[in-house]
Amino acid sequence: MIKSALYSIKQAFKQMFRNKGMTFASIFAITAMMLILSLFLFLSVNVEYLTETVKNQFGTIEVFLLDETSKDQAENMIVSFKEMDGVEDAVYVSKEQAMEEFKIRWGDNAYLLNGLTENPLPNAIRITLSDLNSGDIIARFCATVQGVEDVRFYRDEVGKVVRISNIIQRGALVVIAFLVIISIVVVSNTIKLTVMARENEITIMKYIGATNWFIRGPMFFEGIIIGLISAAVSVGLSSLIYVRLCKVLGDQAFRLFSTQLVMPQFLITNIVWIFLALGISIGACGSIISMRRYLKA
């Protein structure tokens, strides 16, 4: 079994080498597809991340308390808030805690906060909503409670962000699916040429009693190897691109959305696996389609 797999792989490399031009062209084409695909993946992942951040930040009602409101009074408010419909949870956030959160969210830019001599943030109660729709009523009620200075609830903004994000996600998915299909077509075309170039050989192999696996193995591996090489090259290139992108756009993104881009280390380790799996699948699908179609019996 291992021996015949090795034989197939060796034959696959031989065939790829014999057909250098076509092999190179298809690797080039699939790498290009995967690079474009990676850009959309980056976009999609970051939009998703941004949306989640926005949801967490603004899918809540912040009830800012007057400085003279005591912790005990706040605890009482929390109890009454929790009894309302549409409230999932309510927690007390002291001004110190709020500052810590700020620093974390600002990440590399947190040094900007060091200039402050005194904490300007108020104590607050953070209400997490189980239902975004009841937010308005709750927010209006909270504003009337004694000891509350201000209430902040960004319902429309959150809705808009979620909607835009959905559109972008869906668009990216369509583009990605499209690119994957094109890649499969490219591989299957290459394998089709292999089948045709080897038609004579295949006929003879059948006469001599070669098993199907013996005949198909090399072509199957040829597709997979092409997919894997393309995946490896595009993982390398797209990682470089993303690191640069973070450098160039990171600050912009922060200024606009007050959140970082998804960290390159995290994204790249994931992309390695995604792309290898994708490369293998594209190669395997391409080969199988062509063998089904052009390899009789």
Partner 1 sequence: MIDFKHVTKEYGDTVALEDATIHIDQGDFVFLVGPTGAGKSTFIKLISKELEPDSGEIIVAGKELSKMSNREIPIHRRDIGMVFQDFKLLDNKTVFENVAFAMEIVHCSRRTINRQVPQMLSVMGIEDKANNFPQELSAGEQQRVAIARAIINNPRILIADEPTGNLDPDTAWEIMELINTINRRGTTVVMVTHAKDIVNRMGKRVVAIDRGRIVRDNRGGEYGYDD
Task: Catalog residues that contact partner 1 under the rule CB under 8 A.
Answer: 3-4, 7, 200-201, 203-212, 214
Alpha-carbon distance of 283 to 95, in angstroms, equals 56
Q: Minimum distance between the CB of residue 266 and partner 1, rounded to whole angstroms? A: 46
Q: Minimum distance between the CB of residue 291 and partner 1, rounded to whole angstroms? A: 15
Considering the complex, state which of residue 81 and residue 220 has its C-beta at the smaller distance from partner 1. 220
Q: Minimum distance between the CB of residue 204 and partner 1, rounded to whole angstroms? A: 5
Considering the complex, state which of residue 52 and residue 201 has its C-beta at the smaller distance from partner 1. 201
Considering the complex, state which of residue 104 and residue 297 has its C-beta at the smaller distance from partner 1. 297
Q: Minimum distance between the CB of residue 194 and partner 1, rounded to whole angstroms? A: 14
Considering the complex, state which of residue 8 and residue 69 has its C-beta at the smaller distance from partner 1. 8
Positive or negative: CA dihedral 176, 256, 136, 100: positive
And the tokens for 211? 């098993």
Considering the complex, state which of residue 113 and residue 204 has its C-beta at the smaller distance from partner 1. 204
The phi and psi torsions of 89 (rounded to 5 degrees) equal -160, 155
Q: Minimum distance between the CB of residue 216 and partner 1, rounded to whole angstroms? A: 12
Nearest Cα to 180, choosing from 296, 285, 24? 285
Cα-trace Rg, the chain: 29
Residue 209 CA neighbour count, 13 Å, CB half: 0
Q: Minimum distance between the CB of residue 215 and partner 1, rounded to whole angstroms? A: 9
E strand or H helix at 149, and its extent?
A: strand 148-152
Cβ proximity of 55 and 162 under 8 Å: yes
Residue 95: helix, strand or coil by DSSP? helix
Considering the complex, state which of residue 211 and residue 265 has its C-beta at the smaller distance from partner 1. 211
| Beta carbons within 8 Å of 142's beta carbon, 6+ residues apart | 61, 63, 81, 127, 148, 151
